[in-house]
Amino acid sequence: MMNMFEPGTIGNLTTSNRIVLAPLTRSRCAPDLNPGKPWVVDYYTQRAGCGLIVSEACAISEGGYGFGGAPGIFNDDQVKGWQEVTKAVHEKNGLIFCQLWHMGRVSEFFVRFCLLYIVIVIVVIIIVIIIIVIVIVIIVIILIMMFDA
Ligand SMILES: Cc1cc2nc3c(=O)[nH]c(=O)nc-3n(C[C@H](O)[C@H](O)[C@H](O)COP(=O)(O)O)c2cc1C
């Protein structure tokens, strides 16, 4: 009977076992979409014991990016970042594939900036509410002091 801890093959590659880590977006690559960060390298290195790691989905272009904190693989720095990850995984005898991602409609400029505007509007509303509350409190304090006097 087949055992999940026995080596497997994928094409001409051999895996140390038949366990595969599913791609899981961790949103840890902000702000430069670069996975060359200690916590990203650690995340993949800790899982190098799987027969195969499928990386979190990775933006293939600036225009195809639309998910905060997801990594990219479209400029030299990001490629170098991934090389840090793959080197660390290979040193642990792990195997890693890169999942490529174009994020479709959410990566459209308009949609991205709409979301940004919504966040800005919410923050402005909160600030205005705080200012109104402070002004009301000040007015109440002044009125109380006037009546006391
Ligand atoms: C937090 C989270 C992030 C995920 N990120 C990705 C991803 O980057 N790429 C992908 O193909 N699937 C992604 N998935 C889907 C998982 O890989 C999927 O849930 C897993 O393979 C289990 O499959 P199931 O949901 O059909 O049971 C993600 C799922 C979760 C919960």
User: DSSP assignment of 80-145, as one string?
Assistant: HHHHHHHHHHHHTT--EEEEEE--GGGGSHHHHHHHHHHHHHHHHHHHHHHHHHHHHHHHHHHHHH
- Is the peptide bond preceding residue 71 cis, with omega within 30 degrees of 0? no
Nearest CA to ligand 1 atom 11: 23
Top mutation candidate among 20, 24, 29, 60 for ligand 1, by most atoms within 8 Å of CB: 24
pLDDT for residue 147: 85
Q: For residue 70, give the ligand 1 atom closest to its CA.
A: 8
Reduce the DSSP state of residue 59 to 3 states and report it: strand
Mind listing the pLDDT tens digit of every residue in the chain (149 residues)? 889 999 999 999 999 999 999 999 999 999 899 999 999 999 999 999 999 999 999 999 988 988 889 999 999 999 999 999 999 999 999 999 999 999 888 777 656 667 778 889 999 999 999 999 999 999 999 999 998 76
- pTM score: 0.76
CB neighbourhood size of 53 (10 A): 27
